[in-house]
Structure 1
Amino acid sequence: MELALITVEKILEMFVILLMGVVIRKCGMVDERSNKHLSGILLNLVSPCVILMSYQIDFDAMLLERLLWTAGLSAISFVLSIFLANFCVRKNGNPDFGVERMAVIYSNCGFMGLPLIEGLLGSEGVFFMTAYITVFNLFVWSHGVMMMSGRASSFAKTMKSLIQPSMVAIFFSLILFVVGIRLPAVVANPLSMIGKMNTPLAMLIAGANLADSDLLASLKRPRIYWLSALKLLIVPAMTLVELMILHPDRTVALTVLIAAACPAGTMGTLFAIQYHKNGHYASELFAITTVLSLLTVSAMVILAGIFL
């Protein structure tokens, strides 16, 4: 219960920053273009710094084993989510099935999950979260691309798409961790300071995105609630059952559960735009699930406290 209360507190803190993001967008302090640039800074600089510094700990074989456990559990969670989405979101007569399936399967584990895990579990949680993010990228740039584009992507193209800052940071950080190399303070301290921007910057960006959404219109669509229930309740509930059966380390279990319980990710909107799908609908799903997740993530942590 204590962890659940901490989760509520952290989510409320993030929600306050989220509202600030809405305000600065409504006041014209940032526009769509500048928010896109801020997103680039977050994804290409700040998040890699968080990942890199989370690996700056002494090598421990048990930690590496738990990291691999996290990756395996994350992969199982994604496979279960794909089966659920395929079963509950049908193609027949639904031109937006790709957008909807994307929202159900792929969470906002980077923008919301990473800062939430950092606030709840500290650097150790971020360390394990990198395994979830790695598996997320493997799935989203292969299955996600095929689902949204409607065609299979070549292996070479898939591998090329995986070469982006967070994945590169994970690769080099893992090498430094295994070899036992620690960065000098003159390098580590600036990277740590940049990494501390992750939570406030992520929430400001998310708030600015929410400000551009017509939430009232979205709330009138019954299907939004069905898809939100799949993403925010059924997917994490399935993941919780998986964790109860396999019974991993508690920190690993909480990391995977919270990551799976996060709302629909921004990748859905980006892919929808890129592959000429319904980008506005993808943004609505992102906005509504983000708001509702303020309640559902806390509920999932309470259930984790009872069953894990």
Structure 2
Amino acid sequence: MNKSKILVLGAGGIGGYFGGRLAEAGQDVTFLVREHRQTQLQKNGLTIKSQFGDSHLSVKTVTSYHLKESYDFIIIACKAYDLESALDSISPAVGTLTTIIPLLNGIAHIDILNTRFGQEKILGGSAKIQVTMGEQGEILHLNDWCDLTVGEQSNEISKRVQLFTTLFAQTKGIQINAVSNMMQQMWQKLVHLATAAAMTCMMRANVGQIVRTPEGKQQFLQLLDKNAQIASQNGYPPSDSFIKSYQAIFSDPNSQYTTSMLRDIERKNRIEADHIIGFMLDKAIEANIECITLHLAYTHLKAYEQQLLS
């Protein structure tokens, strides 16, 4: 039986980790990268550092200029601000039977992908992991969990979803779940991200540092509740178990949890302000839900973007 051909757009934190683990497990993986990253990977290989096991791999790479053939699965693991150029890059690889799995934060990208390639080609996907790329291009797994959730937008468990999950059967430390409520899962993750990113970025601190302040826990839980209200007004009320879980996470004074958006700010990189906080704020306004914290967080992040331009 022929192996499924997998194209991973991006070899940064998310793409490098999940694509690297697939390659490590013997799957047919090619990374679609820019020339600089290709040169780096060809010279040094792909290094993963994780409590689930370190790995150093020789991996296949391709640039958009040389991308000619179609693939069975395309995993999109870029930042939201690179999505438009990313879609142009993968277009030659999208064949009649190609399935696209985006692992971007938020939800706004789903409509863009549906419009570009057709909803029938697009799965929902969500990665729960703290991972980043080090200064030498190594992939650094920063926490002790690694979950990947996939599903059809139509909420069925299709054969292609089942096939995609089997590709991860031999990967180290990855818990992959096929679900029948993918859009619900993605909205819940957006509630989580919009809360965590807004607070950690505004305060320039991790969760525990914020919670240890006089009003930090209260502010965290109030924003979590507001974001849950917004999701509910859009038809996706978070489950009780989700709310209880994140109430505990955002109340932990010893938590070291931070967000990739804050790490990007600390490195003076571009951020996904519009895709996460801006999107949630727009949905709040549409639902007539007042949330001053979202307004402040969005203004704060847009002001940071202005600093990058100066």
The answer, yes or no, to whether TM exceeds 0.5 is no
> TM-score normalised to the size of structure 1?
0.26
Higher RCO structure, 1 or 2 (CA under 8 Å, sep 6+)? 1
